[in-house]
Structure 1
Amino acid sequence: MASLIGETDSTRSASKGVRVVMPVHNASGYVVAALESVLRDLPDDGEVVVVDDGSSDGSGALVETLAMRDGRIVVLRNEQPTGVSRALNRGVLFGTCPEFVAVAEHDDLVLPGRFAAQAAALRADAGLGAVSGEGRYLGPTGRIAGRVSVGPRTDAEFHEMRDAGREILIPHPAIMYRRDAVIAAGLYDAEFDAAQDLEIVNRLVYAAGWRVRTITEPHVLYRIHDSSMSFSHISAQRMMTRYIVYRNRAQLDGEPFLPFAEWQRANQPDRRTRWRWYRKDTGALRYRQAGLAWLNRRPFAFAGNIVAASVLHPRWVLMKLRVARGR
């Protein structure tokens, strides 16, 4: 059962140019600041569709209060959690979706100029199905550090990655789709909720034939806190990434491919591989914990975690350091 706060006319968005979809689940400490940052950057013809996905901490009430003050906000409510993919799909499919649809996270902050730059990039190139922007990390104390940049920044980089069948990801918390592209790709697949961003971008590229790009401008502050340090999905994400690469190459070669569940049953890693993955995943997690310690101004915790990360997964640390330095 779902409720709709803010609008009752399902065709209200026909004249809008940009829709921002924000799935919210138990984010009462962050969602007001996140939504206000979206509203500050939203174009005059924009709208925000917030999907409160069964929150139990008062997040829904906070969002509804903002919706009463600002007519650009629509709140859709799921009485029970449905998962991030279904929540995103509901936000995209609500009413008449405008030409462009963006995603905003319930705890990140949108930086000024994001939506205008992304819409301009999509309008300028009809072959682009989605664009995103770079970001920086925001810690609990308000400290900003680091740099987030992934994915192709030019057409040459895109074609090099695609021709090799590589996994392609542009930063999902700052993504903007062309409506026709995300719908043609089939929207989000709930089977991949641990890596729904990677899965839909690769389906957009390899199955639906669109190009994607990361704009080399800062568009979002990624909030880092203890709950973002979860280790629980890393193993699942690794299996999903392997499957997506397998599927990409099959599609490039025009060959059939197995559904994910069937492929997963046939490709369980052996003990040695599981240990290698565990070491790398632990190293990646320790690097994240080092970043959180830096943002919290805890130098000893930072040093301990960065040493551990460097021992466990040195290639990951070197790659992250190159990104942070803009290389």
Structure 2
Amino acid sequence: MSDLADVAVLMPAFNDQADVERTLASFRETSPVHVLIVDDDSTPPIAAPAIDGMRIEILRMPKNGGIERALQAGIEALAARGVRYAARIDAGDLATPCRLAKQRAYMEAHPRVAVLGMWTYVVSTEGAPLFDLTPSAEPRAVRRMMLARTCFTHPSLMLRVDAVIEAGNYRAQYRAAEDLDLILRLMQRHDGANLPEFGLFYELNKGGISATRRRAQVVSTLRLQLQHVRVTNPLDWIGIAKSIAHLVLPYGALRSLKARLMKTTPSE
């Protein structure tokens, strides 16, 4: 049996054919890779590229419903196929070598972990390094910090499919914060962790959700923080205060400040 026989890459896509091909071509694994692209009613439809070592399926949504419903449908399809682990990535982002094998090995060794991220290089659309995301790795630290700061980069995640189904799958109730909603529900019964290695080049795109749906994302995040707040944890209240600040300050100013605070020397 292939080491990745029970793993599938889950990628939602909408009118991003070139980015889909570039992202999938970035995977470097020693075992064949199964990919499920959820085409959210693209025009023209997304076509499966021919890439050696990849088996690519396309699930076409009957109408455009947004990333939340696309991911929900993708998880349901993977569960029906008996896939154990779903590895998220978005069109435009790039994987580092052996990302899938490293994450699967960790999750096999840590059965309590249902959501596993990796450290992330954040780059411009031209590929220039901007800053690195190196959140806490251990489950206890992640749980303590989870409402105060972003503990996971969504496109770097590997998820246990059965745990996601048990938790209620992705939902559309919290627009543009579907990842946080799912993670908080998963961590009610399971652990979350980060593999302290770089697994993703994340493209900071001005047309991405964080920019174009910023207010909806912040409002959804604040609703989730208030719902899950632990009154004795000061970090939860810091997170709530940050979300309120995001509602009243311009996106450009916050992005520039974050880049200055988080900028590190690029890795050689």
TM-score normalized by structure 2? 0.81
Deviation at 1:101, TM superposition (A): 1.1
Contact preservation (8 Å) 1:168, 1:202: no
- Cα gap change, 1:135/1:29 in structure 2, threshold over 3 Å: closer, same or farther? same
Q: What corresponds to 2:168 in structure 1?
A: 186
Which of 4, 22, 29 aligns to 1:41? It is: 29
CA contact (8 A) 1:167 1:244 kept: no
**Which of 1 and 2 has higher RCO (CA within 8 Å, sep 6+)?**
2
Q: Which amino acid aligns with 2:215?
A: S
Aligned residue type for 2:262: K
Residues 274/200 of structure 1: CA separation in 2 closer, same or farther (3 Å cut)? closer
The residue type equivalent to 2:35 in the other structure is V
1:138 matched to 2:134? The reply is no
- Match for residue 253 of structure 2 among 283, 287, 290: 283
Could you say which residue in structure 2 is the equivalent of 1:264? Answer: none
Matching residue's letter, 2:16 = A
Which residue in 1 is equivalent to 2:90?
105
In 1, distance between residues paired with 2:227 and 2:160? 23
The AA in structure 1 aligned to 2:117 is: S
Q: Which of 9, 20, 37 is 1:20 aligned to?
A: 9
Q: For residues 203-248 of structure 1, what are the alpha-carbon distances to aligned partners after superposition, in whole Å with 9 as ceiling and x for unaligned?
A: 1113xx1110111111011123442386442222222222112221
Aligned to 1:41, what secondary structure does the other structure show? coil
Query: 1-side partners of 2:127 and 2:149: how far apart?
Result: 33
Taking the aligned partners of 1:251 and 1:179, their CA distance within structure 2 comes to 31
Equivalent in the alignment of 2:181: 199
Aligned twin of 2:99: 114
> What is the alpha-carbon distance in structure 1 between the residues aligned to residue 246 and residue 143 of structure 2?
31
One of 43, 47, 71 as aligned partner of 1:88: 71
Greater helix share, structure number: 1
Percent identity for Structure 1 against Structure 2 = 24
Q: CA RMSD in A?
A: 3.1
Q: Which residue of structure 1 aligns with residue 20 of structure 2?
A: 31
Scaled by the length of structure 1, what TM-score is found? 0.68
C-alpha displacement of 1:145: 4.1
- Given that 2:131 and 2:259 are in contact with CA atoms closer than 8 Å, whether structure 1 keeps it comes out as no
Q: CA deviation at 1:199?
A: 1.2
Whether contact under 8 Å (2:137, 2:193) holds in the other structure is yes
Partner amino acid for 2:60?
R
Counterpart CA distance in 2 for 1:124 and 1:234 is: 37
Checking the alignment, whether the CA contact within 8 Å between 1:20 and 1:104 is kept in structure 2 is yes
Q: Structure 1 regions of 5+ residues with no counterpart?
A: 1-14, 253-272, 288-308, 310-315
Larger Rg: 1
CA distance in 2, matches of 1:134, 1:59: 32
Which whole-Å CA distance do the structure 2 matches of 1:70 and 1:246 have between them?
Answer: 45
Note the C-alpha offset of 1:318: 6.0
Counterparts of 1:161 and 1:176, CA distance in 2: 19
How has the CA–CA distance of structure 1 residues 250 and 141 changed in structure 2, closer, same or farther, with 3 Å as cutoff? closer
Q: Is the 8 A contact 2:99 2:199 kept in 1?
A: yes
**Residue 157 of structure 1 pairs with residue 141 of structure 2:** yes
Taking the aligned partners of 2:212 and 2:64, their CA distance within structure 1 comes to 18
What residue identity is the alignment partner of 1:224?
Answer: L
Deviations 1:252-306 (A, max 9, x none): 9xxxxxxxxxxxxxxxxxxxx9887332544224x2xxxxxxxxxxxxxxxxxxx
Task: Rate the CA distance shift 1:251–1:52 in 2: closer, same or farther, 3 A.
Answer: farther
Q: Which runs of 5+ in 2 are unaligned?
A: 233-242
Residue 320 of structure 1 is aligned with which of 240, 243, 262? 262
CA gap 1:279/1:33 in 2 versus in 1, 3 angstroms? same
- Is residue 214 of structure 1 aligned with residue 194 of structure 2? yes
Aligned pair count reads 252
